Amino acid sequence: MNFSVTTMGTASAMPVSDRNPSAQMLNANGRLFLIDCGEGTQQQIRRCHFSFVRIEAVFISHIHGDHLFGLFGLLNTMGMYGRKSPLDIYGPKALVGIIHFYTFYFGAGDPFEIRVHPLTCKSPEVVHESSYVKVSAFPLNHKIECFGYRFDENVSEHRLAIDPGRRPKSYAYCSDTKPFPELPGWVKGVDCLYHEATFLDSMADKADFRYHSTTVQAAECALKAGAGRLIVGHYSTRITDFEAYLEECRRVFPETFAASDGDVFEL
C-alpha cells in the first residue's frame, strides 16, 4: 500500500533555474491526484515517472500563474496520450472561464471530458470521494479566492482484514495564505501538513502585506493542528539559505522538512 506525496515544484512566482513553481502529486495506492499546476509541471511529471493518463483529478488552489500556468500544457499532453477517462478539476469559480477558453481554442479534439467543479465552500466540505480517498476543500486567506485541500485515505474492510493494524493516512495542502484562527482546526491531526512558508520570520511584515506566511507561522499552525510532520515550500527568491527555513521552523515544530523539487514523502 502506498500513500505518498511528491513535491514537484517548491518555488514562488519569480522564476529560478533550479526550482519549479507549485505542483505536487499525491499517490493514494496508485491513484494519482495533482495539486496545483505551475509552469513546467508536465516536464516534472515525466521526470518523476508519473502517468499522464492515470491522474484522477486536479486540485487548483487559486488563479495565480505560479499555481496554474502549467495546466494548458498538461491537458494538451493528456489528449496526445489518448486519455479517455474524464478528468475532474477543482478550484475557484474563475477556473470555469479559464477551462472554457482552453477547450474553445485548443481542446476541441481532446478525446476526454474535462469536468470543472467550482468551489464555493466557506468551511471544510467534501468535494471528491472514491474508494481510495476523500478530499475536502476549505478557504484560505489570500489576496484572491484561494482554497486548501485535505486528503483522507479510505481504507476498505477488505484491506483492513489483510492488514488489521493499518490506520488511514491523511495529508493537507495549504498554499498561499496568511494565518487565520480556523486553519489549525481544519487540518487537525493530519499525518502530514504542507504549509507555504514564503518568508523567514524577520520578514513578517512582507508576509502580512502579501497575504503569505512565515516559517514560524507555518510551524505554529502545524503545532496547533497536532500534525505528524510539516513540509514547507513556496520559497521567496529573496532567500537562498534554505537551512534558515528549516532552523526557524524546527524551533517551533521539530518534525519539519524543507522540500526540494522531486522529494517524495511517504505517509
- Residues in contact with 189: Cβ distance below 8 Å, sequence separation at least 6, in sequence order: 170, 225, 226, 227
Nine-digit cell at 158? Answer: 477488505
Task: Using alpha carbons only, give the angle 92, 93, 94 rounded to the nearest 5 degrees.
Answer: 90
- Residues in contact with 24: Cβ distance below 8 Å, sequence separation at least 6, in sequence order: 5, 6, 7, 8, 9, 34, 35, 36, 173, 194
Q: Which amino acid would we find at residue 141?
A: N
SS3 at position 74:
helix
SS3 at position 91:
strand
How many C-beta neighbours within 10 Å does residue 226 have? Answer: 12
Output Rg (C-alpha) for the chain, integer angstroms.
18
Length of the chain: 267
Nine-digit cell at 265? Answer: 514523502
Give the whole-angstrom CA distance, residue 210 versus residue 180: 14
Give the whole-angstrom CA distance, residue 33 versus residue 147: 16
Q: Which amino acid would we find at residue 261?
A: D
Task: Determine which helix (DSSP H) or strand (DSSP E) holds 194, and give its type and residue range.
Answer: strand 192-196
Give catalytic residues, as residue numbers.
66
